[in-house]
Chain A
Amino acid sequence: GQNIDQPTEMTATEGAIVQINCTYQTSGFNGLFWYQQHAGEAPTFLSYNVLDGLEEKGRFSSFLSRSKGYSYLLLKELQMKDSASYLCAVKDSNYQLIWGAGTKLIIKP
């Protein structure tokens, strides 16, 4: 079966750095996406990785290792508004997007 694993919940301090991990087992791989979803709102696109390595976008970076079936989202200089759920999603060989259950990130002052 297809599976995406992420921690259910993480807590971090304002101004700090946090890394949210995602491991996947899918039938094929055609890219990995990270989305942010605030409570009661729809998800918003953060990043896309299809090749191994690190993609940096301001305070957010996303890393991919295809051989390990592993990705992480790195958030730097955390702000209170970063409190949200972070969803990892993988496109499989049929280009279907398989969603993780999301990681709820709680930022404390």
Chain B
Amino acid sequence: GAVVSQHPSWVICKSGTSVKIECRSLDFQATTMFWYRQFPKQSLMLMATSNEGSKATYEQGVEKDKFLINHASLTLSTLTVTSAHPEDSSFYICSAASRGEAQPQHFGDGTRLSIL
């Protein structure tokens, strides 16, 4: 149980392109979804937290107009990297958690984004 599906797994595109990443909880209702970014050999960096039906809460230093997050249902959240540039190249990982203090975050497989 607790499967999170993230697509696409790999994206290579030109600078200036907008890229949308989907995160779905397949067998549970995710009241909260999280978006992380991880550069090579570095730790996870939380970008934003989103609760179903409300606006995402962004971490300090994360541009909300560049990283658009939508959490329209209890099973789907999307992250759109708008006008991506080479410095946005990274490993983006979503996670989802259901309601409850003891509920762990379950991670998708991640999306490796390369901007040329």
Contact = CB atoms under 8 A, between A and B. Distances in A.
Interface residues of B, number: 19
Nearest to B94: A42
Interface string B33-55: 01000000001101001000000
Interface residues of A, number: 20
Contact of B43 (A33, A41, A97, A101): A101
Interface in A33-82: 33, 40-45, 48, 50
A44 B110 CA distance: 12
A107 interface: no
B109 A41 contact: yes
Interface in A64-109: 87, 91, 95-97, 99-102
Chain A contact surface mostly: loop
Given A41-B109, A42-B110, A91 B101 contact: yes
Contacts of A26: none
A15 to B, nearest CB: 28
A44 B93 CA distance: 12
A5 B109 CA distance: 26
B104 A33 contact: yes
B108 A45 contact: no
A31 B43 contact: no
B30 to A, nearest CB: 14
Interface of B: 2, 6, 34, 43-44, 46, 49, 91, 93, 95, 101-102, 104-110
